[in-house]
Amino acid sequence: MDYQQIIERIYEEIKPYEQEGKQADYIPALARVNPDQFGLYLNLLSGESYQLGGYDTRFSIQSISKVFSLAIALSIKGKELWKRIGKEPSGTAFNSLVQLEYEHGIPRNPFINAGAIVLADVLLTELENPEEFFIQFVRALSGNEEIDYSSEVAQSEQSCSYLNASIAYLLKHHHNLNNRVEDVLHFYCMMCSVEMSCKDLAKAFTAFARSSEPFSHGGVELTTSRVKRINAIMQTCGFYDEAGEFSFLVGLPGKSGVGGGIVAIHPAKYSIAVWSPRLNERGNSIMGMKALELFTTMTSESIF
Ligand code: GLN
């Protein structure tokens, strides 16, 4: 299969959409990003890689960080984790508050904000130096020591994270948050602020595609069983209230973030990351989703 030719054709086909949507602007630092950028990186497990456009440009990974925090929390807590967080699709927006009230402070899944705020709380309790551990884990996963937090983006988000603060206080009210709300929000925003390129993300996610060789770092092990479960949650919950649509159009487990990044994997075949800041109303990259839909259509390599 000529993957390079395929991704170049995809780029031509998605060009008509390049002015649709706009970048996230509820986080002031993200509103300043140039929206007219696109990158793609395909990493085959057999070793070859193919790339396009701004594949090496770092951007804010935002909610993609939730996959990393879940991997760490699940490795530390095991089944216990599911007493504090569910694993069902939410069908609601990533920052929705209503469902959390109805369900008495147990977030539907780890990939909506409420769930990831509980993950941040778990890591704060369990790790001696959570910020250091988290970034070292991400660096080790992607093999790039230069990956870092953006304290500018983190501060920018925290300065106006009224909705996430409401979620955190509701969790606290239901005894599902052990640390101080301010500390949890700070760490949550730091994790979201990590900047990675499509190349970094595709490389990091090979650990979720190639579960036969478990990745391990600092006592966190991505065993075959854990990877299976994390991939299942990516498949059912990775795109908030658009998880069904992504599954329908693309057919891969994946995760998106409001920085415009999407990363997806095909178990035992490849990992692929795309990035374009303009989002649809659900907070997912428009060109990114189109590119992945075309990719699995043209290659016939979705999981279904
Ligand atoms: N940091 C963002 C928030 O909490 C992450 C959301 C996202 O990427 N969907 O709103």
> pLDDT at position 72, please?
98
Cβ within 8 Å of residue 16, ≥6 positions away: none
Considering the domain 3-299 in this protein, what is its CATH number?
3.40.710.10
From ligand 1's centre to the CA of 48, what distance in Å? 32
Q: Would you tell me the crossing angle of helices 181-193 and 151-158 to the nearest 10 degrees?
A: 130
Residue boundaries of the structural domains of the chain: 3-299
> pLDDT at position 203, please?
98
Characterize 110-145 residue by residue with b for buried, 16 or more Cβ atoms within 10 angstroms of its Cβ, and e for exposed.
bbbbbbbbbbbbbbbeebeebeebbbebbbbbbebe
**Which atom of ligand 1 is nearest to 95's Cα?**
10
Q: What does the pLDDT look like over 262-271, one tens digit per residue? A: 999 999 899 9
> pLDDT at position 63, please?
98
**Which atom of ligand 1 is nearest to 259's Cα?**
8
Q: Which residue's alpha carbon is nearest to atom 2 within ligand 1?
A: 62
Q: What does the pLDDT look like over 170-200, one tens digit per residue? A: 999 999 999 999 999 999 999 999 999 999 9
Reading the block at residue 271, the tokens are: 């990992």
> pLDDT at position 212, please?
83
Using CA atoms, how far apart are residues 185 and 165, in angstroms rounded to an integer?
7
> pLDDT at position 213, please?
86
**Which atom of ligand 1 is nearest to 64's Cα?**
8
> pLDDT at position 128, please?
97
Q: Which residue numbers in the chain have pLDDT < 70?
A: none
Phi first, then psi: give them for residue 130, nearest 5 degrees. -55, -45
| Strand, coil or helix: 176 | coil
Is 283 touching ligand 1 by the criterion CB < 6 Å? yes
Instruction: Give, in order, the Cα–Cα distances in Å from 63 to each of 15, 69, 155, 218, 301.
Output: 26, 10, 16, 23, 25
Q: What does the pLDDT look like over 117-150, one tens digit per residue? A: 999 999 999 999 999 999 999 999 999 999 999 9
> pLDDT at position 211, please?
79
> pLDDT at position 13, please?
98
Instruction: Write the DSSP assignment of 27-86 as a string of letters.
Output: SHHHHTS-S---EEEEEETTS-EEEEESTT--EE-GGGHHHHHHHHHHHHHGGGGGGTS-
